[in-house]
Structure 1
């Protein structure tokens, strides 16, 4: 990534996020090409990075959208993704979201429980429409990833077991207001081993064959997302091997594959840039304090996640330190016990692999405005989200002051 971080800091201040849109293009095309042997839809997982310009860029490449709230559905529609390319997932949809999704005519609602299916059927009947349904099946496969981002085990809150799924599909077939359209599984995020993916998709493909014997013909198999990226020294799944492993399970099935990448497409496109305020020593402990904080990038505090960090100066004197922010929490850190060079006021610090689950999880904690987002494409920069002001933060509150 040949981005001039200092130039951007001078123009847009710090902290900020910058995303390499050319990288996103390459990632999308790599995955789409891997599935060229079969009908496929790459449905971008909007939750990874929901900036409108990011979604629009992927839409221009042909992507659909995997959404987990009606807000994400509206974001996808706003930037031009066709309704027939949008899937509405999520374990806790409220009635108004289900109603609006049905009215918008999206491709399908991905149902995660029998109780949710009852609500969808009731609402579809009230609207006098037919709801296209996909059911998320939990294959009970260990994804070998962080427990907080594991989703395919029975101990997780997502999806239903095989027997429950069969009963739900039969209910759909016998309903005037439900149309069984797809099937879905997603065992977790940041996956770096292929075998659990292949095992889970095999279970789903076999279920599709069993359903076909019951005259329930599905049009889509959604194999989820979760392909890992390099944060540190991970060994990644080859995209061609990934596609081939999935295609092998589909033998004899005339069905469209849906894939829901998020982190894979945008994770390594992004860099969070913050600047050094000062250093301090507590006893023998060195702290490098920067103007970015956990409200801007929470992954290290939330998951103890690793991000590669680089101080953009020429100092060769390295020592152990904690890289921390100004927020009033002991958990406000980007890294602990990390070797960094000695820093000066206003030195820039780049935190890499920050394109996914970073800005999208930001908050206004401590009444801190959300930072600017910038796109880099074809050698040029453009602002894609303004830095929030104090007035932006209080806009929904001030009229109620008594």
Structure 2
């Protein structure tokens, strides 16, 4: 893995300032190569879930290494087209959107993934079988880590329940819908490959209802390691098991079907580094706080889903180890890490958060009228500024003064 060194990250922070998001493009291609190797004996396609990180330069790079694109909004679709993806390499999987957004996706010629019976009825009534679609099912499988990122359980808003198959069949028959694919996604941070295999059994059963089926999409949710010794999805084992399952299915039915996946975090998480500066060291009767020049306005994951990020002091990496609680500068409790062992932190030191490539900058905001940080992409050892740091004028952009 082509990781960036502490010394190089310090240099970047000195050149571009902090807070700073840094993405190592070569780590993204390393991850993509792992997927291709794991599924080399299987007819597989990989659609990068760009909700994880949608900077246009990242999208262009992902396109250049051969991946397709998974989008959840029509603007992500348009970004993908602008980045160079052809419509056949884009999958559009929205939920709870107006039919007009689905219609626009159709006009743009992308693969449509529909997860609502009423939308199926509207689409079938308007277009019949003239345009192939995919149906997103809820397999009623509890997978993933935090409940907030589990999407296949019975209370989830995502997908059409597998128990509504009769209703779907009536819609397909009455409107002539051309169902080219079926889809499921149970959530994120899935450690056990058997979750995918369990879902695949459900998908194979559903496949018997769709004679023109071309692919089965198993979503993603591959677990990446966030801390030393962390369990992660065994991609090699998953590739082996999925390959075996599809070969058995082909032998049994005589049908060759592609398998699709939608890795987001898996591709970009480990490529990302978030660099912050220690503003203050504050000792209380119970805790020593490191107050940094950021907060959940820049990295909300620890506060939103209790996500863990490794943190290192990159400007004093050999200092004596001490226990700190790392907090932000926002007027709410924005604790990044409780009781974390770090090399001694001094005011002005630089800390780095690892695994910051997915849902970091993408979920940032201007809360407290704080400015969004810059983004850097490192490609083959050369740093490129791919988003300039906000200025004060950006806070007023699009506001209309009437007084």
Q: Tell me what 2:263 maps to.
A: 261
- Per-residue CA deviations over 1:276-307 (Å, capped at 9, x if unaligned) read 11111222321101102111000011111110
1:91 has 2:87 as partner: no
Aligned equivalents of 1:246, 1:106: Cα separation in 2: 26
Shift in alpha-carbon separation, 1:129–1:16, aligned structure 2, 3 A: farther
1:240 has 2:236 as partner: yes
Q: Tell me what 2:63 maps to.
A: 59
Q: Tell me what 2:367 maps to.
A: 365
Say if 1:205 and 1:249, in contact at 8 Å, map to a contact too: no
Q: Secondary structure at the match of 2:141?
A: coil
Select between 26-35 and 52-61 the one with higher mean Cα deviation: 26-35
Q: Secondary structure at the match of 1:373?
A: strand
1:401 has 2:402 as partner: yes
Shift in alpha-carbon separation, 1:182–1:280, aligned structure 2, 3 A: same
Aligned equivalents of 1:168, 1:286: Cα separation in 2: 58
TM-score with structure 1 setting the length:
0.92
- Per-residue CA deviations over 1:350-381 (Å, capped at 9, x if unaligned) read 00011111111111111112111111111111
Say if 2:132 and 2:179, in contact at 8 Å, map to a contact too: yes
Q: Give the deviation of 1:41 after TM superposition.
A: 1.6
Q: Tell me what 2:394 maps to.
A: 392
Q: Secondary structure at the match of 1:118?
A: helix
The one of 217, 222, 226 equivalent to 2:217 is 222
Aligned equivalents of 1:269, 1:195: Cα separation in 2: 27
Say if 1:184 and 1:222, in contact at 8 Å, map to a contact too: yes
TM-score with structure 2 setting the length:
0.92
Say if 2:120 and 2:171, in contact at 8 Å, map to a contact too: no
Q: Give the deviation of 1:166 after TM superposition.
A: 4.9
Q: Give the deviation of 1:100 after TM superposition.
A: 1.2
Aligned equivalents of 2:137, 2:273: Cα separation in 1: 35
Residue correspondence of structure 1 range 153-172 to structure 2 within 5 A: 153-172=153-172
Say if 1:24 and 1:265, in contact at 8 Å, map to a contact too: yes
Say if 1:138 and 1:152, in contact at 8 Å, map to a contact too: yes
Say if 1:120 and 1:131, in contact at 8 Å, map to a contact too: no
| Aligned-residue CA RMSD (Å) | 1.8
Q: Give the deviation of 1:99 after TM superposition.
A: 2.1
Say if 1:135 and 1:165, in contact at 8 Å, map to a contact too: no
Shift in alpha-carbon separation, 1:302–1:166, aligned structure 2, 3 A: same
- Per-residue CA deviations over 1:302-336 (Å, capped at 9, x if unaligned) read 11111000012145333322101111001x12111
Say if 1:189 and 1:226, in contact at 8 Å, map to a contact too: yes
The one of 107, 110, 121 equivalent to 1:106 is 110
Q: Secondary structure at the match of 1:137?
A: strand
Q: Secondary structure at the match of 2:340?
A: strand
Say if 2:88 and 2:110, in contact at 8 Å, map to a contact too: yes
Q: Tell me what 2:175 maps to.
A: 175
Aligned equivalents of 2:383, 2:224: Cα separation in 1: 24
Q: Secondary structure at the match of 1:328?
A: coil
Q: Give the deviation of 1:394 after TM superposition.
A: 1.3
Say if 1:224 and 1:261, in contact at 8 Å, map to a contact too: yes
Residue correspondence of structure 1 range 236-315 to structure 2 within 5 A: 236-250=232-246, 251-252=249-250, 253-312=255-314, 313-314=316-317
Q: Give the deviation of 1:133 after TM superposition.
A: 1.6
1:11 has 2:15 as partner: yes
Q: Tell me what 1:184 maps to.
A: 183
Q: 5+ unaligned residues in a row in structure 1: which ranges?
A: none
Q: Give the deviation of 1:241 after TM superposition.
A: 1.3
Say if 1:192 and 1:234, in contact at 8 Å, map to a contact too: no
Say if 2:273 and 2:354, in contact at 8 Å, map to a contact too: yes
Aligned equivalents of 1:262, 1:199: Cα separation in 2: 21
1:138 has 2:138 as partner: yes
Select between 386-395 and 156-165 the one with higher mean Cα deviation: 156-165
Say if 1:228 and 1:236, in contact at 8 Å, map to a contact too: yes
Aligned equivalents of 2:164, 2:286: Cα separation in 1: 58
